[in-house]
Chains A and B, each alone.
Chain A
Amino acid sequence: MHMISRRVVLTTGASASLLLGTPDWLKNAAAQTTYTRYSATSPEGKAMLKLYEKAVDTMMNKIPKGDPRNWDFQWYSHWIPGPQGPWSAVAKKKSDTIQLIYAGKPQTDPHRALAELMWDDCQAHGSNPNNPTFFQEEFFLPWHRYFVYYFEHIIRGVLQNADFALPYWNYLGGPSASRAIPEEFRNPSSALYRPNRNAGVNAGAPIDSGSGRTPLNADAFNETQYIDSPDGSIGFCPILDGNPHGAVHVDVGNGTNMGRVPTAAGDPVFWVHHAEIDRLWESWNRLGHPNPSWPDRNFVFANAAGGMVRAPVAGANSADNLGYRYDSYFVPAGATPAVAATAPLTTFAARPLEVRGIAANALSLGDAPVRASLSLPSPPLGAAHTMQFAAPTTARSLYLVLTDIMLNADPGDVVYDVYVDVPEGTTPTTSDPHYVGTINFFHVMPGHDMTAAPGELSHHSTVVFNVTDVVRKLQSVDGLAQQATVTLIPSGKPAADAKPVVGRVELLER
Chain B
Amino acid sequence: MSSFLQIMRAALPALVLTTASPLSQALAAETITIAESPAGAALPLGETPVTVTLALLPQAAARLRAAPQGEPVYLMVERVHADAAVEATYEVYLGLPAGAAPRRDDPHYVGDFNFFDAEARPRNVSFNITRLFARLRAAGALTDTPTVTIVPNGRPAPAARAGIGRLAIVAIGR
Task: Using CB atoms and an 8 Å cutoff, list the residues of chain A in contact with chain B.
Answer: 83-85, 90, 125-127, 131, 133, 136-139, 211-215, 217, 219, 222-223, 225-234, 238-239, 241-243, 245-247, 249-250, 254-255, 259-261, 292, 294-297, 413-415, 436-440, 442-443, 449, 451, 460-466, 491-492
Contact = CB atoms under 8 A, between A and B. Distances in A.
B44 interface: no
10 contacts: A84-B120, A126-B120, A137-B24, A219-B127, A229-B31, A247-B89, A247-B112, A415-B7, A442-B7, A464-B17
A233 B116 contact: no
Contact of B23 (A227, A415, A440, A442): A227
Nearest to A402: B14
A56 B157 CA distance: 32
Interface stretch (B34-42, B80-88, B95-103): B80-88
A212 B87 contact: yes
A462 B16 contact: yes
B125 interface: yes
B120 A127 contact: yes
A139 B19 CA distance: 14
Given A214-B112, A260-B85, A415-B6, A133 B19 contact: yes
A295 B112 CA distance: 32
Given A212-B155, A413-B6, A463-B15, 13 more contacts: A133-B21, A219-B128, A222-B128, A227-B23, A233-B76, A245-B116, A247-B116, A255-B84, A259-B116, A296-B18, A438-B14, A439-B14, A491-B6
Contacts of B29: 225, 228-229
A227 B10 contact: no
Contacts of A492: 1, 6
Interface residues of B, number: 58
A239 B126 CA distance: 7
Contacts of A125: 117, 120
A261 B82 CA distance: 13
Contacts of B87: 212, 250, 254-255, 259
Contacts of A254: 85, 87
Contact of B124 (A84, A217, A228, A231): A231
Contacts of B3: 413
Given A212-B88, A229-B28, A437 B23 contact: no
Contact of B119 (A84, A213, A449, A462): A84
B128 A133 contact: no
Contacts of A295: 20-21, 23
B78 to A, nearest CB: 8
Contact of A296 (B17, B112, B157): B17
B111 A211 contact: no
B24 A232 contact: yes
Contacts of A127: 120-121
Given A213-B89, A250-B115, A438-B10, A462 B128 contact: no
Contacts of B127: 219
Interface in B18-61: 18-25, 27-29, 31
Interface string B144-173: 000000000111010000000000001010
